[in-house]
Structures are given as structure tokens and as C-alpha cells.
Structure 1
């Protein structure tokens, strides 16, 4: 056992169910193409966000977590992002949110947390959005709070490098 194992630095690798992941990617593509105009022009990846809420009641403090799943479409030609909210089992689809670099006030990637950050809105009302784009299924399955009802089962090793290259262009 190494020093980093004491702090959770080493996670057990899981065996990839490639057929399940490929089926989910195929379903994501079908959903995105049906819901978004010219959807086939976008490359897609799976993404999720974590919304943390809390309340203080005199002595008791509560913290709640809400996870949202997205099919994240990105197009190089006009550097546009489209977040299409979906249920973890990909059976339900919500509304799409679209962003272009000129719509976003600030963009960032926090490497230590593995999260991407968008800030938009006016100077009076700043709104922000944190999201994660996992590279491998281990990035999801090794989360302490993972369960089947919270996250989609998608491994995107091939797609992730294309996403990172797009994000770097989007942030310039």
C-alpha cells in the first residue's frame, strides 16, 4: 500500500460492459438528433452536473445533492454548446440549453475537481453552471455516491480528447 492509497488516490478499475456503453451512446445520438435542429452536425458526449443545496435551522444544517444528466453537443463550425437534459436511463428528455462563446462571461476548467465552469447572465444577476464530462466509466463508477438511478452508463475514451480540444477553443 502506497502513501496515496491512504488518501483514496488509488481506485479499483472496473470491467467495462462495452455493449451496454455502446448501446447508450447510440441511444444518446438518436435522442439528440431528434430533439435538436441539425443535431447530426454536433459531436456529443455524456455530461452531468451536481447541484448542492443547503439550509440552516438553528442547530441543524442540511446539505442536499441533486444530479442532472445531459447529452452535451458541441459544434466546431460556430463553437456552439448544447446541453440536452436527459434521465439517467435515457428514457426522458428535457429542454435544451444552448451557449456560444459570446453568451458566456467566464469559462474555466478546474483540473483538480475535473469540472467545467460556465458563467453567464448580466452583471447584476450572474448565473453559473458547473458540469463534468467523465472520460472513462471508472470516472463515474468509482464515485462514492454512484448508483444506477443517478448516472448514465457511458464510457467515452475515444470522444473525450475531441471534447477537450473543443473546450480549449471555446475558452479562447
Structure 2
């Protein structure tokens, strides 16, 4: 049983790499957001799917956008900072304050996403998982505990009916 349990365990998380990336995420977030240390963080991503139709050929293309997502329970604010999988840089933060958003909910199908409508013109879908192995598309970080905390925060404060 010992040998077979090791063979069929599947991929294992490299915690050293994960912790180094979590530290980089914190540094980028703190550099982009005033008072960034007051926020808890997770990695998330957003997808932009475009469809094409060239006569006989039909299909779609998906663009992945990596995000550092911070939340502050006291101010009921979520801040999203765009980044890249290797965490070599970050974009401008976007703030979502509970008092200023139109609606928010958790979409379970076709993928698990946290949807925020800041107004009637646009929305953001934040996909987040406890760990994604593909380093070419996603930030390599293990975040099971933080993701559970974010989910609770989102459902209790943002997705209220």
C-alpha cells in the first residue's frame, strides 16, 4: 500500500515556491494599494472569452488575467490588482466598496466565480481556487485557508440579498 499511495497521490504543492510567491504578491499589493497591509490576500484570475466564426471554422479564444485580490472586512472593501503569472509587475488597483456596488453574487456554473457589478455598465468575475498547477497561466500559490476566508467574507458581506 505504501508504494501505491505515493504513486497515485497526484501533483504535490511546492510550499517553498508557494510561500515565495505569496510574499511577492504581498509586496506588489502593498506597493499598489495605500494601507495594503490591512488587507488579506488571495490570487484570482479573470477570463475573457471571445468567439469567432470564419465561415466553416467556429471557435473561441480565452484570455486569462491574473489578479491579486485583497479584502478588508472592517471597510468592507475588495481591491483587485492586475498582475502576471511570474509576479514581475502589477497594474493599477480597482476598488470595490460594498456601499458602492450594484450587486454581487457567487456563480457556481460553469465555473466557480465571484461576480461583482459595480454599476450597470460592467462587471468583474473573480475565479479563485486553492491551488492551480499551471505556472505559465496562473500564479503558483497554495491558498486553501485564505480562499475559505475570502469566500466567507464575500458571501456574508458582498452577496447579501
TM-score, normalised via structure 1 length: 0.81
Task: Report SS of the residue matched to 1:121.
Answer: coil
- Selected match of 2:122 from 122, 127, 132: 127
Tell me the alpha carbon deviations over residues 96-121 of structure 1, each in whole angstroms, 9 at most, x when there is no partner: 11111233222111234211111232
Q: What does residue 30 of structure 2 align with? A: 33
Question: Is the 2:45–2:65 Cα contact (8 Å) retained in structure 1?
Answer: yes
Gaps of 5+ in 2: 1-7
Q: Which residue of 1 aligns with 2:159?
A: 171
Deviation, 1:28, is: 0.7
How many Å separate the matches in 2 of 1:109 and 1:151?
21
CA offsets 1:79-102 (integer angstroms, 9 cap, x no match)? 001000011000021111111123
Q: Name 2:115's counterpart in structure 1.
A: 117
| C-alpha distance 131-12 of structure 1, shift in aligned 2 (>3 A) | farther
Residue ranges of structure 1 left out of the alignment (5+ in a row): 1-10, 142-146
In structure 2, relative to structure 1, the CA distance for the partners of 1:13 and 1:116 (3 Å cut) is farther
**Partner residue in 2 for 1:95:** 92
3-state SS of 1:160 partner: helix
Name the residue aligned to 1:8. none
Q: Which residue of 2 aligns with 1:149?
A: 136
Structure 2: distance between partners of 1:149 and 1:107:
30
2:101 corresponding residue in structure 1:
104
Contact 1:103-1:120 within 8 A present in 2 as well: yes
Establish whether residue 75 from structure 1 lines up as the match of residue 75 from structure 2: no
For 1:70 and 1:16, how far apart are their aligned partners in 2? 20
Q: Displacement of 1:21 after TM fit?
A: 0.3
Would you identify which runs of 4 or more consecutive aligned residues in structure 1 move more than 4 Å?
Answer: none
TM-score by length of 2: 0.86
Contact 2:40–2:72, Cα closer than 8 Å, also in 1: yes
Equivalent pairs, count: 151
